[in-house]
Amino acid sequence: MTRMIIAGRQVDAHDGRTIDVVSPVDGEVFTTIPRGQQADVDAAVQAARAALEGDWGRMTALERGRLLLRLGESVLAHHEELAQLEARDTGKPMSTARGDITVLARYFEFYGSAADKVHGQTIPFQKDYSVQLIREPLGVTAHIIPWNYPAQMFGRSVAPALAMGNASVVKPAEDACLSVIRVAELALEVGFPAGALNIVTGLGEEAGASLSRHHDINFITFTGSNEVGVLIQQAAAVNAVKCVLELGGKSAHIVFDDANYKLAIPAIVKGIVHNTGQTCTAGSRLLVQRGVYADFMKALADEFSKVRAGTPDMDLDCGPLVNQAQFDRVNRYIAKGLADGLTVVAEGGIADGVPAGGYFVKPTLFSAPTHDSSSLLTEEIFGPVLVAVPFDTEADAIRLANATDYGLLGAVWTENGGRQQRVARGIKCGQVYINGFGAGGGVELPFGGVKKSGHGREKGFIALEEMSTTKTLIQFYGE
């Protein structure tokens, strides 16, 4: 049984209720987490507020940065333990889990080193005035994070908030949160003052909803589904607090007839099967220029059909889906693709010997005749399902890439430099790769969406601005 962290202590829910944690690998319950509710959220927000008024609020940027760096070191010292927890909770292959923990440490390293590099400005104004623009923390920051990359999302959300001197309350996902709790324990061990970082576990509609509408928070960051994102923004509106939302995507690879297949094919396969396609930035659409469509799809199918799903210890290309609901959802989409008349060009396999109750699906590569032939080309599936469609001209490619409500990532594959720039600038999204694809990682790279993929930016230095506010000091020094 795992406990949450409130006010520097490991605690159960106030009424002792718990939630079963199910392993995606075999469908069996293997531990429980507290089912936090309003009273627990109240206690966590109060603890965060007290930390801001106390030791944590009095620390210098240098001291906060040192604590974050120490936490990064501690994550690395506990690397294997955290990776095992992450793999157990999510079912992901061990090497993916290990990579995720390295990225988690990197967030604390990056923002730990950045904490004391955030400078203010002076602004020329009227005669005999001195004007300073200083950066201040927002206050109590709320972080509602998803289950697909629990450790990474935690680092991405919380490290810049703490670096800027906020005190945080985190509501990790009920489906996967064990690594998050463990890192919060490590934070206490390395010396974070009580209340600076609180973790309340529980259901989205209970603990999550209580946190997002809490009257004493000053900021919310949320990564998850579109539907919940809208609820979060509504809750933020009631208290007039700022929110950053990252709500998924339907990112397209655009492959032109001069693309380097050797680069493109492995990246496209990895871009959809990594983390079993449960990645907001998954490259889940493939637009290929008509002249090379048949040839490219054949080469891609050869590679795609080698993909295997297995248990964390088998350490194959991907694992199971996270839970029964995801399993049903992805299977529904595969059935819908077939019903819509899409062609299955290739399928990956499920390794022999996976437990019968696990949520494993066969990664599937579809081909569609046109972009409007199926909702599989516009809706986020969140599974290892890639749909390809041919296009004719550069203008068509840009139009199709933009033909969904989402706008998170894009990728352009061509050797033509002018085309690289034109297409990259033409795609409406927050990040574009040219001759590469790197969903995940990229701690240094500003990230976020446009359209229904959300708003606000995380990662990189820009997150430090998102997670703080400015104050303008205007001083008259004349006589």
Please tell me the distance from the alpha carbon of residue 430 to that of residue 407, in angstroms, as a whole number: 7
Are 171 and 211 contacting, i.e. CB atoms less than 8 angstroms apart? yes
Q: Which position among 86, 109, 174, 246 bears the catalytic label?
A: 246
- Other CB atoms within 10 A of residue 32 CB: 16
Rounded to a whole number of angstroms, the minimum distance from the CB of residue 12 to ligand ADP is 19
C-alpha to C-alpha distances, 343 to 305, 370, 373, 388, nearest whole angstrom: 15, 12, 11, 10
Alpha helices, H only, 241-323:
261-273, 290-304
Please tell me the distance from the alpha carbon of residue 94 to that of residue 316, in angstroms, as a whole number: 9
Rounded to a whole number of angstroms, the minimum distance from the CB of residue 149 to ligand ADP is 12
Which among 41, 20, 22, 30 has a CA at the least distance from the CA of 199?
A: 41
Rounded to a whole number of angstroms, the minimum distance from the CB of residue 210 to ligand ADP is 8
Closest CB to ligand ADP among 149 and 366?
149
Residues in touch with ligand ADP (CB under 6 A): 144-146, 171, 173-174, 204-205, 208-209, 212, 224-225, 228, 231-232
Residues comprising the chain, all counted: 479
Closest CB to ligand ADP among 5 and 368?
5
Rounded to a whole number of angstroms, the minimum distance from the CB of residue 297 to ligand ADP is 30
Please tell me the distance from the alpha carbon of residue 378 to that of residue 395, in angstroms, as a whole number: 19
Q: Which position among 177, 280, 318, 429 bears the catalytic label?
A: 280
Rounded to a whole number of angstroms, the minimum distance from the CB of residue 178 to ligand ADP is 14
Closest CB to ligand ADP among 224 and 426?
224
Please tell me the distance from the alpha carbon of residue 195 to that of residue 8, in angstroms, as a whole number: 6
Closest CB to ligand ADP among 29 and 230?
230
Q: What is the chain's alpha carbon radius of gyration, rounded to the nearest angstrom?
A: 23
Please tell me the distance from the alpha carbon of residue 224 to that of residue 220, in angstroms, as a whole number: 13
Closest CB to ligand ADP among 162 and 177?
177
- Other CB atoms within 10 A of residue 164 CB: 25
Closest CB to ligand ADP among 204 and 358?
204
- Other CB atoms within 10 A of residue 202 CB: 28
C-alpha to C-alpha distances, 160 to 359, 440, 464, nearest whole angstrom: 34, 17, 6
Is residue 415 helix, strand or coil?
Answer: coil
Rounded to a whole number of angstroms, the minimum distance from the CB of residue 209 to ligand ADP is 4
Alpha helices, H only, 287-393:
290-304, 324-339
Closest CB to ligand ADP among 205 and 415?
205
Please tell me the distance from the alpha carbon of residue 380 to that of residue 433, in angstroms, as a whole number: 20
Closest CB to ligand ADP among 28 and 205?
205
Kindly give, in sequence order, each residue whose CB lies less than 8 Å from that of residue 182, ignoring residues fewer than 6 positions away.
78, 81, 82, 85
Which residue is it, tokens 């001069």? 258
Q: For residue 280, indicate whether it is catalytic.
A: yes
Strand ranges of the sheet holding 129-137, from the earlier edge strand across to the other edge: 121-122, 129-137, 468-476
Residue 206: burial class (beta carbons within 10 Å; 0-12, 13-18, 19+): buried
Rounded to a whole number of angstroms, the minimum distance from the CB of residue 206 to ligand ADP is 8
Rounded to a whole number of angstroms, the minimum distance from the CB of residue 222 to ligand ADP is 7
C-alpha to C-alpha distances, 13 to 32, 271, 401, nearest whole angstrom: 12, 39, 46
Which residue sits closest to ligand ADP, CB atoms considered? 204
Rounded to a whole number of angstroms, the minimum distance from the CB of residue 275 to ligand ADP is 13
Closest CB to ligand ADP among 193 and 204?
204
Q: For residue 246, indicate whether it is catalytic.
A: yes
Catalytically active residues, by annotation: 246, 280
